[in-house]
């Protein structure tokens, strides 16, 4: 009988190198970069051929609603989501998952997967997982090394040691990102693999090694989980305890120190989609080497990536460029310079701009909203409320709101009044009025909201009641 595996999906990255599609509140793991499914959903779909338990997802507090919605779309609404109040790297994140797993599943085998990696050859991936199982059962800490296809300076490497006899090799050493000449030597030598960030081991085995080498991390994670609270399918760890946890990767904290590290080669068309060039490399291209997504017209362009999100983009005579269009920002970069995109994000942060934070569409537990237009003292949103969902009872100090129902029925609380409005009807919420919006129907409620006032920021909300615990 095949051993059941507990997948642990790490979904805490920010993906700044893929700006302007990837934003702080919608990083790359939640974006459909390689098809109709998001990277997170593709990762979950990849597990269907394995005998796995319901996955454990770890993500940032800010991403809880979009993560929950994408799990729901995959039929995994029962999956637990561990929420990190702050990022503390992979060693603490995996420790939280391992401690939680031991509480709920005795001592399962964890399969740790980043949510934002691409693996094209799923059967090869499944075969590597099966090769790793006996090693994990034997108490080894397994990492998966990617068989290199070219000299790469953007990845760390793993040098293979002696064969384990079960499809794996002992880890001789971990190597930092090399220069180009060294990377070429590694490729010629043949005993080096790219460090993938994929792992497999018994939960208790990882905790034992963490306690040996980084007891401070384990103690902080135990305290954080002991003080956790459950909210629907979310587990919120204690914020103060977790903030005191050291920041360290599993590689530095455990894998480079333990004598029980083994590596299983993985040759499955892997990419971490770490840049726009990496996405261009793994995408299907036309005869001129171009990758076009969205409404794109081309004349005599070659080896170019164009993503048109909201309007027509015309490309004329381009070569080796990346163009990414979104409603509020356009990126134009040479492919050899795409790693510098992260510095643009830093400029946005330092200048107190917002184009690195939000996309136009923002997910909430009750549904979503999309910013349609904004100007001096006004903003227009398209709001979708799920059947049976209710926004918080709230008020605004600086803005009034007009609601126009496009489809469905809205139950409106407006001060002391509660009433229904249907399609083509509207209502007005004055500044300072306590109000709420609810969808009592069986179909999604869609409405247009027009905000007007001296300040329109999302932080101008005073909540009095909220079924989702956001007080």
Reported confidence tier of residue 3, pLDDT bands at 50, 70, 90:
low
Q: Which of 5-19, 106-120, 193-207, 323-337 has the lowest mean pLDDT?
A: 5-19
Nearest by Cα to 250 from 242, 258, 259, 241: 258
Give the three-class secondary structure for 376: coil
The CA distance from 378 to 399, in Å, is 9
What pLDDT sits at residue 190?
87
Dmax (CA) for the chain in angstroms is 77
What are the CA-CA distances from residue 28 to residues 56, 260, 283 (Å)? 19, 33, 16
286-302: burial string, b at 16+ Cβ within 10 Å, e else: eeeebbbbeebebeebe
- For the segment 127-156, the average pLDDT, to the nearest whole number, is 93
Displacement of CA 365 from its chain's centroid (Å): 17
Closest to 45 in 3D by CA, of 15, 18, 70: 70
Q: What domains lie within the chain, and their CATH numbers?
A: 5-271 (3.90.550.10), 276-348 (no CATH), 361-465 (2.60.120.10)
Per DSSP, the residues of 419-461 read EEE-TT-EEEE-TT--EEEE--SSS-EEEEEEEEES---TT--
The answer to whether 198 and 113 are in contact (CB under 8 A) is yes
The percent helix, strand, coil of the chain (3-state, each to 5) is: 25, 35, 40
Averaged pLDDT for residues 438-460: 95
Q: What is the pLDDT of residue 233?
A: 82
Give the chain's mean pLDDT. 93
**What is the value of pTM for the model shown?**
0.87
Mean pLDDT, range 354-377, rounded to an integer? 87
At a CB cut-off of 8 Å and minimum separation 6, what does 165 contact? none
Phi and psi (nearest 5°) for 85?
-70, -30
Write down the pLDDT at residue 365: 85
pLDDT tens figures, 374-412: 889 999 999 999 999 999 999 999 999 999 999 999 999
Decide if pLDDT at 368 tops 60: yes
**Residue percentage of the chain with pLDDT more than 70:** 99
The token pair that represents 238 in the structure block: 């204690």
Q: Compute the Cα dihedral for 98, 102, 103, 105 and give only its sign.
A: positive
Please, where are the H alpha helices in 198-338?
203-213, 215-226, 239-243, 250, 276-282
DSSP labels, 93-138? HHHHHHHHHHHHHSSPEEEEEETT-EES-HHHHHHHHHHHHHHHHT
Give the bridge partners for 323, in sequence order: 306, 332
Quickly state the pLDDT bin for 1 (edges 50, 70, 90).
very low
| Interval 250-303: pLDDT, tens | 999 999 999 999 999 999 999 999 899 999 999 999 999 999 999 999 999 999
């Amino acid at each position: 009988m095949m051993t059941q595996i507990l997948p642990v999906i790490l979904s805490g990255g920010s993906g700044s190198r893929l700006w302007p599609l990837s934003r702080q509140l919608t990083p790359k793991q939640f974006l459909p970069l390689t098809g109709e499914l998001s990277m997170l959903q593709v990762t979950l779909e990849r597990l269907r051929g394995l005998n796995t338990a319901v996955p454990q997802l770890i993500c940032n507090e800010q991403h809880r609603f979009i993560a929950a919605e994408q799990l729901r779309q995959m039929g995994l609404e029962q999956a637990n989501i561990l929420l990190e109040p702050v990022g503390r790297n992979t060693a603490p994140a995996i420790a939280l998952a391992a401690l939680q797993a031991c509480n709920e599943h005795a001592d399962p085998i964890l399969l740790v997967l980043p949510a934002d990696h691409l693996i094209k050859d799923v059967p090869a991936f499944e075969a590597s997982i099966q090769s790793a199982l006996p090693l994990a059962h034997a108490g080894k800490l397994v990492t998966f090394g990617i068989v290199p296809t070219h000299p790469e300076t953007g990845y760390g490497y793993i040098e293979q040691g002696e064969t384990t006899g079960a499809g794996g090799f002992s880890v001789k050493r971990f190597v930092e990102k090399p220069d180009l000449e060294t990377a070429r030597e590694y490729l010629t030598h043949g005993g080096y693999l790219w460090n993938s960030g994929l792992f497999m081991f018994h939960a208790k085995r990882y905790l034992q090694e963490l306690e040996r080498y980084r007891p401070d991390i384990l103690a902080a994670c135990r305290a954080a989980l002991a003080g956790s609270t459950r909210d629907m399918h979310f587990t919120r760890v204690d914020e103060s305890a977790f903030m005191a946890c050291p920041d360290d990767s599993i590689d530095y904290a455990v894998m480079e120190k333990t004598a029980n590290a083994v590596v299983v080669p993985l040759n499955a068309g892997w990419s971490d989609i770490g840049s726009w060039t990496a996405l261009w490399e793994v995408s299907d291209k036309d005869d001129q080497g171009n990758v076009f997504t969205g409404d794109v017209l081309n004349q005599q362009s070659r080896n170019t990536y164009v993503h048109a999100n909201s309007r027509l983009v015309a490309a004329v005579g381009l070569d080796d460029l990346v163009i990414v269009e979104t409603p509020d920002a356009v990126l134009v970069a040479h492919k050899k310079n795409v790693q510098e995109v992260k510095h643009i994000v830093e400029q946005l942060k330092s200048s107190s701009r917002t184009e690195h934070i939000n996309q136009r569409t923002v997910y909430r537990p009750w549904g979503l909203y999309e910013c349609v237009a904004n100007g001096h003292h006004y903003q227009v949103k398209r709001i979708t409320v799920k059947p049976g969902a209710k926004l918080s009872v709230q008020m605004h100090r600086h803005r009034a709101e007009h609601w126009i129902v496009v489809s469905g029925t809205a139950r409106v609380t407006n001060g002391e009044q509660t009433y229904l409005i249907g399609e083509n009807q509207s209502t007005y919420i004055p500044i300072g009025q306590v109000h709420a919006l609810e969808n009592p129907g069986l179909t999604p409620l869609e409405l247009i909201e027009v905000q007007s006032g001296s300040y329109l920021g999302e932080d101008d909300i005073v909540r009095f009641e909220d079924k989702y615990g956001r007080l």
